[in-house]
Amino acid sequence: MTAHVHVPSMIARVSTAGALTLAVTGAGLVTPGAAPEAHAAPHAAKALDVAASKRGAPYQYGASGPYRFDCSGLTLYSFKSAGRSLPRSAQAQYGTSRHIRAKDRLRGDLVFFHRGRSVYHVGIYAGGNKIWHSPRTGAVVRLERIWSQAVWYGRVG
């Protein structure tokens, strides 16, 4: 009697390998014709992950974690966890970040909301025109669309 051994076709093996690569790297699928977002520096990616892990943490004015945050407290805590230091206020964080254009923004960059020359809010860019932030009293850390055109971007070195 002859033993039959099933050998998957090359296409099946490539598909499995591709699926495993996506699972291991966390890569996403790219829509044809769309430009994929560039990757952030490792510390910015880590800061973004830390901010996302704080989803649902309540806002508290002046708080910088680990359980409650105001906007600049969340960015300070997230980047500190990633090995980078930032000053305490949103305005001071803007002053110490490397200013970049909107078209050059990457996941993990800071997004500063301003009125005139005064920065009043900061969040961490998550891609897809969204930020992780701690918005205001009565709210929690959350992912939200950028709601204003009056924003500046900064990169933490």
DSSP letter string, the chain: ---------HHHHHHHHHHHHHHHH------TTPPPPPPPPHHHHHHHHHHHHTTTPBB-TT-BSSS-B-HHHHHHHHHHHTT----SSHHHHHHHSEEE-GGG--TT-EEEEEETTEEEEEEEEEETTEEEE--STT-B-EEEE---S-EEEEE--
Do the beta carbons of residue 56 and residue 96 sit within 8 Å?
A: no
Residue 71 annotated in active site: yes
Residue 114 annotated in active site: no
Catalytic residue among 4, 6, 39, 121: 121
Catalytic residue among 6, 39, 43, 71: 71
CA atoms within 13 A on the CB side of 51: 34
Residue 121 annotated in active site: yes
Q: Write out the catalytic residue numbers.
A: 71, 121, 133
